[in-house]
Chains A and B, each alone.
Chain A
């Protein structure tokens, strides 16, 4: 069964450092998403991406965040200058107009 893959599974970084989280969505999907889940809390929408541009973003997705689809397969989330409160599990998801498929997540720890 096709699946969304994410790397790294866990990243530890110092406050102020840049982080790039990578995702490979399911190959024939058209819509891509990033979500964040702070430990023990709900899944929060960050951004949706369609046709090579952001289609929707939440209030969490400020100027420190950016997304890119640099080639035909990868979908990346960049955090420019990490803060302590960015520590969370980041889930990538993709869908083709039906079910949303989540990756296994990248756990980001900011020290």
Chain B
């Protein structure tokens, strides 16, 4: 089955700096890579996703890149704000049937 590795486990940045979170996956059949933001005690919420036919996707301050050959994908948050502080999970799935999550990255943005 799919195995998703996520790094780093914790990340602390100054407000305004960029944050990068990296994930690798093992199953070459995976073709859907969402990123979720989870605030303390809340449900995971989708913030951005990418499919395997695309190499990069951007939505305002967040962007995701995918390297299918190397089986890794990354989340980039620019101009970070304190409200970006949360746990971020990457995930990988083939046709959404068996989505597997990374271990999560706790992002802290210091004002």
* Chain A contact surface mostly: strand
Contact A99 B101 (CB under 8 A): no
Closest to A3 in B: B43
Interface size class of B (residues with CB under 8 A): 20 to 34
Contact B45 A102 (CB under 8 A): yes
Number of A residues with CB within 8 Å of any CB on chain B: 22
Q: Name the segment of B62-70, B72-80, B92-100 touching the other chain.
A: B92-100
Contact A43 B44 (CB under 8 A): yes
Contact B101 A100 (CB under 8 A): no
**Complex Cα gap A31–B106 (Å):** 29
**Complex Cα gap A1–B44 (Å):** 17
- A residues apposed to B, CB below 8 Å: 31, 33, 35, 41-45, 48, 50, 55-56, 58, 91, 95, 97, 99-100, 102-105
